[in-house]
Structure 1
Amino acid sequence: MPVRYICKNCGTELYKFERVGQDFYGVRTPSEIKAIFGGKCHHCGHEFQVPSMEDITFRPKKQLKVKVY
Structure 2
Amino acid sequence: MYKFDKVGQDFYGVRTPSEIKTIFGGKCPRCGHELSTPTLEDIKIKVKAKITPVIE
> Which TM class, normalised by the smaller chain length?
0.5 to 0.7
List gaps (5 residues or longer) in structure 1.
1-20
Superposed CA deviations along residues 30-59 of structure 1, whole A, max 9, x for unmatched, are 111111211101121111111111211112
Superposed CA deviations along residues 4-63 of structure 1, whole A, max 9, x for unmatched, are xxxxxxxxxxxxxxxxx7765212111111112111011211111111112111122342
**Aligned length, in residue pairs:** 49
**2:7 maps to what in 1?**
none
Match of 2:13 among 26, 44, 67: 26
Q: Which has the larger radius of gyration?
A: 2
Compared CA separation, residues 63 and 23, structure 1 to 2 (3 A): farther
Structure 1 moving runs of 4+ over 4 Å: 21-24
| Structure number with higher relative contact order (C-alpha < 8 Å, ≥ 6 residues apart) | 1
Verify: 1:55 aligned to 2:47, yes or no.
no
CA RMSD of aligned residues (A): 2.3
Verify: 1:66 aligned to 2:16, yes or no.
no
TM-score, normalising length from structure 2?
0.62
TM-score, normalising length from structure 1?
0.53
